[in-house]
Structure 1
């Protein structure tokens, strides 16, 4: 019995995608911090339960729908249970448990949070499952999936405290949305072979790597600009972090547009994801430090430390590449973060 329970716990952790939990949890905390609720621990805990449950349902739906693609792109990958031989029924149990937990926590946080969750689940189902299967609809998928990736957790956090949605909140959401679209477009580099074989007309398949990288760069810069316009009490340190980070993203995208190696694709996409996550962490840190009354120097040193850490992680990935498991190179965890409803609702954006 204990072995059965341990196996199910491992499956839940596997399906939750730790990098995605971190990413979507950050968006929820940004929403909470926007209205000064990041210090209310019960709200943080409730919002994270909603996000994790929502993530489990979305990932399971996508993995069930994309089992055939995964068997081509990721044969034997232990992070894709169906591609490595797990039973679909086990994944359904995970989705049901996650859905129940998410609905219960959302109801406790208020009807508006519950409404956001229900809309997100419906959109995730329409994205992954027939008859709509929006993941096969090219531009629609590229625009819809990031809205679920960012919008659901951010609005859950924003509304959990009971405040009203302000214009600056929507501008900040727009900045996060644009940046996520730019990064999610890059997920197709990993899956391009299976997508092309199975007729998935992703942005990369239709337009090629040069155009994809240029659009990703433009969206990343647009997203950063919107965030800096909307974030309250922005400091020179925060602006500097974003300027340097976005410059690094553009430089990495330039390299990605020219490479022809699948391994280099994986490494560069992973490094871009690391930088993106570092920028999100910097924004969250800024919003969390304001209500605590930290001095400008304390805030600047904290953001500098985050920037140095991000640069170190990205540089290490660029130097040493992804870890190798068995005989096949595994996509780095940093690359998984760009996912959701596709990987949350999965690895995304096809």
Structure 2
């Protein structure tokens, strides 16, 4: 990448890798392996994470390139957006996307034909989500349904098929539960982006239906997804500790969404959404712990104690997020203007200048 120092290259790649999203991808991949009975196979997990994380890098680069103008409105100065902060140029992201797609495809086919074909399909869907003429991201509810398919189905199914096992109806029902729960999460992302989405005609669920309906639909997705995951995780629904842990987490999310549905400031809004994200990650960790410890033959009291500890950590982190909001320590150095400028960027700056002269909002 055209950045000043090698350390800056690493920081840009970390920012593009979206660490929080990468953790989700890793958890979904591990859940796929665990559902296939391979929870204790770290070498296979590592082999699966290579194509999965390369796919994530490809998706982020393509999306950031397509949404650069919107991100300048929604996320000015956001250090997780190298194009917005001028830490990287458009050509850098194009090259990164091409390499990431090649790595994702090759590494997936090394795992087998089914993982390879699955990866090719996911790359096509991800490109269609961001790029014109398809550009599913602008199609409101369709975007909220398609994005979770990439973020949940790919890592989960790749982990599942990499073991060579058949995909059973129970596996698909668990996938549907994970998918539904993630829809509830991804709808909340639109609160952060609502200003730019409305300005550029991006008809998200929030823009079309408002915050109260969005929070209500999100709560329904969280609840349905949690119930489906609970009943498809072996031994979870019949044991009081896993069932109680899931119930408490879903109840906490519903309370947060109730607060979010009312009038709150931007900073408070961001903190509330961060709290739901912490609970979402915690639910995945609880599910993975239930599967892994059962396969390892842990006794019921020991498994229950571990789940109680994980539940306490999850709710504690969520409470901290709700109170203080998310934090980041990543700093990206900006490029010289000549390295960042592209014909597209130049035309957007000219358009923004024209809007400013006419008294309209500028991107």
Which residue is equivalent to 2:342? none
1:251 is matched with which residue: 250, 255, 266?
255
The within-5 A match list for 1:79-90 is 79-85=80-86, 86-90=88-92
1:184-195 equivalences under 5 Å are 184-195=186-197
Task: Give the Cα separation in 1 of the matches to 2:264 and 2:95.
Answer: 41
Structure 2 match to 1:307: 311
1:103 to 97, 102, 105: 105
Match 1:144 to one of 146, 157, 182: 146
- Matched with 1:337 is none
Pick the aligned partner of 1:224 from 217, 220, 226.
226
Please report how far the alpha carbon of residue 9 of structure 1 lies from its aligned counterpart in structure 2 after TM superposition. 2.3
Q: Distance in 2 between matches of 1:289 and 1:304?
A: 14
Aligned to 1:165: 167
CA contact (8 A) 2:271 2:323 kept: no
Q: Secondary structure at the match of 1:193?
A: helix
1:264 paired residue number: 268
State the alpha-carbon separation in 1 of the partners of residues 3 and 152 from structure 2: 37
Q: Which whole-Å deviations, capped at 9, do the CAs of 1:120-160 have from their partners, x for residues lacking one?
A: 00000000001110101111111111111100000000001
When normalised by structure 1's length, the TM-score is 0.90
Q: Which structure has the higher relative contact order (CA within 8 Å, separation 6+)?
A: 1
Which one of 239, 248, 266 corresponds to residue 243 of structure 2?
239
Contact 2:241/2:308 (8 A) holds in 1:
yes
1:25 Cα deviation from its structure 2 partner: 0.7
Q: Distance in 1 between matches of 2:29 and 2:199?
A: 37
Task: Name the residue aligned to 1:51.
Answer: 52
SS of the residue corresponding to residue 247 of structure 1 reads helix
Equivalent-residue separation in structure 2 for 1:319 and 1:79 (angstroms): 22
How far 1:4 moved relative to its partner? 4.6
Q: Which protein is bigger by CA-based radius of gyration?
A: 2
Structure 2 equivalent of residue 336 of structure 1: none
**Residues in 2 aligned to 1:46 and 1:324: alpha-carbon distance in whole angstroms:** 29
- Residues 31-86 of structure 1, C-alpha deviations (whole Å, 9 max, x = no match): 00001112222210111111100000000010000000011111122210111122
1-structure distance, mates of 2:294, 2:31: 12
Instruction: Tell me the distance in 2 between the aligned counterparts of 1:118 and 1:2.
Output: 30
SS of the equivalent of 2:261 reads helix
CA distance in 2, matches of 1:285, 1:322: 25
- Which ranges in structure 1 are unaligned for 5 or more consecutive residues? 327-350
State the superposition RMSD in angstroms. Answer: 1.7
Counterpart in 2 of 1:292?
296
Distance 1:230 1:322, change over 3 A: closer
8 Å contact from structure 2 (residues 29, 159) kept in 1: yes
**Normalised TM-score (structure 2):** 0.87
Aligned length: 326
Who is 2:75 aligned against?
A: 74
1:20 aligns with 2:21: yes
Mapped partners of 1:290, 1:323: distance in 2: 35
Q: Which residue of 155, 158, 162 corresponds with 2:157? A: 155
Structure-2 separation of matches of 1:290 and 1:2 = 48
Bigger Cα displacement from structure 2, 102-111 vs 116-125:
102-111
Distance in 2 (CA, whole Å) between partners of 1:4 and 1:156 is 35
Partner of 2:204: 202
- Indicate the SS of the match to 1:258: coil
CA distance in structure 2 between the partners assigned to 1:300 and 1:109 by the alignment: 34
Quote the Cα distance in structure 1 between the aligned partners of 2:3 and 2:329: 28
